[in-house]
Structure 1
């Protein structure tokens, strides 16, 4: 799942239904940065996609729903997401940009712009649409395996299992 899809789903699942009327999420200012590398598990990272996720509430009911809820949800989502690629592409200031324009005493247009960076990954698939190095590939979300423990062999006393 892309970061914009993940953020949109998280916000939609946790905001009151009334606050989500006239809501949209879009991608702006997309560019790719070359970063081709083998990732293991037959995965190939072709590049890193850099874009701005723009979430817009055209009639946000700020009197009924505290706008700080949006900010808190964004902070929680940002804290739970892997933002490692930001450092790789030189993004040092990933602060979201909030633009709030009151319409009347009850509603406002709220626009949130959040910088995003994610890997463009492909995996082999005979039915895939992407020809690469003589094979067919398809788009995929990167799959990362993390070791939870390791066995360390010493020179004299055998193996010891250590949690990581």
Structure 2
């Protein structure tokens, strides 16, 4: 899942449906950064896609739902769900641009700088040729230990 998809899912799950009408998430100002790194399990990062996740509402009901809720959700997502690239690249803080009208709605735009890793994994049918191999573009596979056994020894081993 990309950072834009993750942020959009978090915002959608936590705002009332009325506030999600006329909502459009988009990607703008993208740049590809060369950044190689071995990830284990045959995977390698070849770069990073840095971009602005733009969350736009054409008709946000600010009298029914405070834009402050959107801001709080964005900051919560950044602190609890954003990937490690946010800190690694020292991405800037989000910006906001509300334009209020007298009808109880506003045009609201929140811009969040995010980054996604570009990961390759070997595959016989991969679309990317590199260094004599074929590779697929994948989301990183991470194995996490769910159990551990500890062995302790008391006294002499003899």
Which of 120, 132, 135 is matched with 1:134 structurally?
Answer: 132
Q: TM-score, normalised by structure 2?
A: 0.86
User: May I ask how many residue pairs the two structures share in their alignment?
Assistant: 155
* Cα shift at 1:115: 0.5
Gap change, CA 1:64 and 1:130, over 3 Å in 2: same
Q: How does 1:27-106 map to 2 (within 5 A)?
A: 27-89=27-89, 91=90, 94-106=92-104
Any idea what the Cα deviations from partners look like across 1:52-90, whole Å, max 9, x if unmatched? 11010010000111222112211221121244223433x
* Cα shift at 1:39: 1.0
> Which consecutive unaligned segments of at least 5 residues does structure 1 have?
159-164
Name the residue aligned to 1:122: 120
CA distance in 2, matches of 1:52, 1:8: 13
* Cα shift at 1:106: 0.7
Q: Pairwise CA RMSD of aligned residues?
A: 2.2
Gap change, CA 1:144 and 1:75, over 3 Å in 2: same
2:10–2:77 Cα contact (<8 Å) kept: yes
Gap change, CA 1:72 and 1:157, over 3 Å in 2: farther
Which deviates more from structure 2 when the two are superposed, residues 73-82 or residues 61-70? Answer: 73-82
* Cα shift at 1:37: 2.1
2:3–2:82 Cα contact (<8 Å) kept: no
> Which consecutive unaligned segments of at least 5 residues does structure 2 have?
none
Which structure dedicates a bigger proportion of its chain to strand?
A: 1
Moved over 6 A (4+): none
Gap change, CA 1:141 and 1:157, over 3 Å in 2: farther
Q: TM-score, normalised by structure 1?
A: 0.83
